[in-house]
Amino acid sequence: MNCNSCNGSKHSNFINPKCFFTNAQLSVVKCSNCGLIYLHPRPEKKLGLEYFENAYSNAKGFDKIDYYRDVESIMNRNKSRWELISKLNAPNHKILDFGAGQGYFVKIAQNNNWNANGVEISGEGRKSAKLNLDVNLKSALNELKTSDFGIITLWDVIEHLEDPKQTIIDLCNFFTS
């Protein structure tokens, strides 16, 4: 699998973490041409979706993984993210969280009086956001009523995408349409 950024075919090993979901040894490599660090092979969209449906419904052993379960830690993680973002000079205080998960970041932004929207592909993520936080997430960009956002965030997203470059291009096209 070639580099998603420069299409280079040569890479070196970077790290080998274990997949939460399958317990398989993963391979993260560094492109010898442009230096991009990426999961190799990149996850198929179908597997990516299956991963998050299980993560957000706490199925298939995800109930033992604090990263998706410990609400206090999740809130703290997203408060740190908010600290970072709230310092930026967003022209209209309108923000889109792309890959919004269970909606925690959107909720914190809304609590701080920003006009915050989220897009989340996982139905379980959207269900959890509605149930636990009363946050309404959209399932796709074309469900949004506006593309007039000052900031787009993608927390914990890029590494899960089958084609990150295309996703960024799609986002750019959407926001300039």
Q: What is the DSSP string of 3-16?
A: -TTT----EEEEE-
Q: Which residues bind Zn ion (CB under 5 A)?
A: 3, 5-6, 8, 31, 33-34, 36
CB of 35 to Zn ion, least distance (A): 7
Q: What angle do CA 77, 86, 48 make, to 5 degrees?
A: 45
Number of H helices, E strands in the chain: 6, 6
Q: Which is nearer to Zn ion, 125 or 164 (CB)?
A: 164
> Which of 23, 36, 30, 46 is closest to 160 using CA atoms?
46
Residue nearer to Zn ion on the CB measure, 8 or 150: 8
CB of 164 to Zn ion, least distance (A): 12
- Judged by beta carbon, residue 35 or residue 61, the one nearer Zn ion is 35
CB of 102 to Zn ion, least distance (A): 32
